[in-house]
Chain A
């Protein structure tokens, strides 16, 4: 098992797929010799050259639009949108074009494309470079939504996203890029639509995504000291959503919390809480509680940002209060 950082794992996942499939291409701002502003593409330009790893102008609509056109006609483009916040400048391409074209054309074309983007906060970048925007994508029929929490998943889920025949939004988490952990040797591909239970516990279930997974795991250790044994589910993909694993975990504990980095209104946890209420209500001992950022733009100063994004302390305090 090799030790890779999350950012190296992104590059490795793409390299694996470019190596086996000549139709895979990468485009975006500064992705070539510069290897991406977060260095998530190190080595790709050198290994695969400028026709497969293409620098673009600062034209988010053209980046995603070009990926759509190329995907329709035989390529498997990976389009980099530097910060997820910039998706707002090309949301027409994402939500109106990539997501709907296959359906509107009743299957005449397929769009095997991936948009890789730097998502999430914790780095003091302020309100326009820190958002957790997976919910925007989750709200649009026709998009698959992936948000890994570990280097191994960054690798394996990105490989799976590239092989997937549909448009995938791959939300890399900026605060996890430096995290180092082991990644399986040899070819590595995960399946989209499978949540993973990162910790088994009998008392409560914490449902988390991306950077909230390590926090939920840390919180579980603290909760254990208080005699509360927590299950931690890493959702990994929001679309397709692994409701089977979610319901199974919730049914075993009867108590569930979502841990979401996004602002409160209509975060993914709202949908999951609603599904749990509709489909496994009998298993619940208490209402599902959502732990989210407040419904404000993310502030920049450390103390403010830290108190906005769910912390280990806030997760523990919320669970302890509810389980008292």
Chain B
């Protein structure tokens, strides 16, 4: 990495936004804690993928987005969908397969979306949403809006063709996309460094698409906010995409069934020390924010999560006639006359 990383000046967000970012991180943390508990109770089928430890990225980017902007993310997408304002109750309900789920029970844990909030889907084929995000941005450009698209993906996604096709297209068409690589150092179980030709899987590829490398601390919400602010204003001004690599770490395994024994203990310890919520809380307190404000946020987050989970648990399962609905735009699933 030769260039100076941008976004290293923390604290450009105003105070109200910063408190809101803290609040969102705490909500996401509490939400995912409850998701894991539901999983262990056998209520979340298959699995789910937690972003615990990575919340600062979703929150720092979302704080720069406006109504009309879009986000696309991966199966590890609770944080990104929540950060756009989606209902926790509907998300819980989707995870446990209820009729009131965000997707009526048809999508499940890996496809959370709330189009009304601009959350245009969670994608479970690695990298697939990178060209799709370019298309959403193309539409924004074609319609002469100043809308931007934030596209989140993992370090592993930088080695699939769709990443390279999407980045190149976005760059040559100068599309308003903020690509955010959440480098949590692992694919499922393999360290990204062991299968990637460069040290920084996204940042070191930026120049290949005529973009400046942007490598940031993804566990610092202020840093993420600043980098995203610059990227969003560039995109809104018509100056094209930005590729941000945000370094981070997941506290848990790849999915809920992964104990993550493949990670060195010292590495895990080091990153647990760098918990984005703990860091942010200490910073806000050190700057003089009254602790009772933060404690109030912590308590009400847990209450809100508990209420949302209880409501979801009380909701009915879908009726089976849903199977044939919404294949097509007319609401039907019919393929014949």
Contact = CB atoms under 8 A, between A and B. Distances in A.
Interface residues of B, number: 51
User: Could you say which of B104, B107, B120, B135 has the most chain A C-beta atoms within 10 Å of its C-beta?
Assistant: B135
Interface string B76-88: 0000000000000
Secondary structure dominating the interface of B: mixed
B101 to A, nearest CB: 8
Contact of A61 (B121, B137, B161, B325): B161
Contacts of B106: 103-106
B165 A73 contact: no
Interface in B118-139: 120-121, 123, 125, 128-139
A132 interface: no
Contacts of B137: 69
B67 to A, nearest CB: 14
A60 B161 CA distance: 10
B70 interface: yes
Nearest to A238: B335
Contacts of A242: 336-337
B54 interface: no
B115 interface: yes
A253 interface: no
A75 interface: yes
A142 B128 CA distance: 18
Contacts of B120: 69, 72-73, 109
A283 interface: no
B166 interface: yes
A25 B142 contact: yes
User: Could you say which of A25, A73, A194, A241 has the most chain B C-beta atoms within 10 Å of its C-beta?
Assistant: A73
Contacts of A56: 169
Interface of A: 25, 51, 54, 56-57, 59-62, 64-75, 77, 92-93, 96-97, 101-110, 112, 141-142, 165-166, 193-194, 239-245
22 contacts: A25-B142, A59-B165, A60-B165, A61-B165, A62-B166, A65-B132, A66-B135, A67-B135, A68-B132, A70-B138, A72-B135, A73-B120, A73-B136, A96-B128, A97-B128, A104-B103, A104-B106, A105-B107, A106-B104, A107-B325, A243-B336, A245-B337
